Amino acid sequence: MKIHIAKVIVKILAVGLLLWLCVIGYALYDLKPKEYVLAKDSVKSLNEEVALELCRRVLMKELNLQSNQIEPIPYQEPGKSLLAQNESLKNEGSIIWYVSSSGFDPTHAWHIHTKIVIRENDILVIVSKPK
Q: From first to last of its 131 residues, what are the pLDDT tens digits of the chain?
A: 778 888 889 899 999 888 888 877 776 665 565 666 555 555 555 566 676 777 777 777 777 777 777 777 655 555 555 554 444 444 556 666 666 666 555 555 566 767 776 665 666 667 665 55
Same domain, 51 and 101: yes
Same domain, 49 and 79: yes
Strands, E assignment, the chain: 34-39, 70-72, 92-99, 110-118, 122-127
User: Which residues lie below 8 Å from residue 102, measured CB to CB, with a gap of 6+?
Assistant: 69
Q: H/E element holding 17? A: helix 2-31
Query: Per the confidence metrics, is the pTM higher than 0.85?
Result: no
- Domain membership of residue 20 as a residue range: 1-32
Same domain, 102 and 42: yes
Same domain, 38 and 68: yes
d(CA 40, CA 28): 31
Count up the domains in the chain and report the number: 2
